[in-house]
Amino acid sequence: MRLSVIALSLGAACLLVPSAFADCVDFSAARAAKAGAELERAPPSAAELGVPNLNGLKLDGPATTGDPKCGGPNPPKTYIYKTDMTVRDLITAYYPNVKPYIEEDGMKRKWYRNPYWSKGMFVLTSTTEINLISDASGKISRVTLTPGNPVLPVTTASQPYSIDEMITSTPWPGGPDGRREFVRADGAVGVEAANNSPAAAARGANPAPASKNCPAGSGGSASGDGAAVGAEIGGLVLGGGFGRSVGGALGGVFGGSKPKQAPAVDPNCP
């Protein structure tokens, strides 16, 4: 008797499953096109999406709504746009409103990090998240806007990474050929160039340009560079101050395992 009841229950469940998922299995492009067209006729404003403007962006209604019978949220939580812009075009347009990415280490020190993540994402001061899909040339094929909850007003912000440094995803302000020094975020407010950081201010307002013979990084040692890169990677992979500490220790060991002969002193080196 008990086995019969279990069998009947399983049979009833099997009958219910197809009806519960029938709408999503039977996706209708026509329904998606209709819902998308309705959204495009009354699209959300830039202020509602938490972006400074929508110049150069065209709402892809069907991709945003999908088939309403497949259970997508209404209104959508994310909005998909088409564009002919490049990554540089879009970051330049939104750059004044990029939210600084600040990380705190195990010693409670706060540091700026590159706000443009490797997966093509950055966040605006409104808390709206921007995701870009682009090809190797930087041509964008898709822009996804995810408004924050709540959406805050778009305000102007400053951070030490320039547009070029954001695009190249360099971990430190100043680019790959710069001083390779991270900037503290718990002191003065960061600006575009890394030489405006508190650490750079101590070196002088207008330092002489370094020649190509200058040693890379603070102190120009291989172990110093290895520790800096290792700390950055450790912070990203392991997370937080612990990851940075482990990465820095390993980077210092491997970086210092092959000592290099010091180059001749250059008067233009800092």
Residue type, 151: V
pLDDT tens track for 200-221? 333 333 333 343 344 444 333 4
Higher pLDDT: 180 or 245? It is: 180
| Residue 128 vs residues 139, 166, 181, 190: alpha-carbon distances, Å | 22, 18, 29, 21
Q: How many CB atoms lie within 10 A of CB 229?
A: 19
pLDDT at 110: 93
CB 235 within 8 A of CB 243: yes
pLDDT at 178: 76
127 phi-psi bin (left φ>0, alpha ψ -120 to 50, beta other): left
Band (118; pLDDT cuts 50, 70, 90)? confident
Mean pLDDT of 86-102: 97
Band (192; pLDDT cuts 50, 70, 90)? very low
CB 137 within 8 A of CB 131: no
Mean pLDDT of 249-267: 46
Handedness of CA 88, 94, 146, 115 (dihedral sign): positive
Band (27; pLDDT cuts 50, 70, 90)? confident
pLDDT at 52: 97
Mean pLDDT of 246-257: 48
Mean pLDDT of 52-76: 92
Average pLDDT taken over every residue of the chain: 73
Least confident of 83-97, 102-116, 158-172, 252-266: 252-266
What is the Cα–Cα distance from 162 to 102, expressed in whole angstroms?
A: 15
Model pTM score: 0.61
pLDDT tens track for 136-191? 999 999 999 999 999 999 999 999 999 999 998 889 888 777 778 899 998 744 43
Band (117; pLDDT cuts 50, 70, 90)? confident
Is the pLDDT reported for residue 4 higher than 60?
A: no
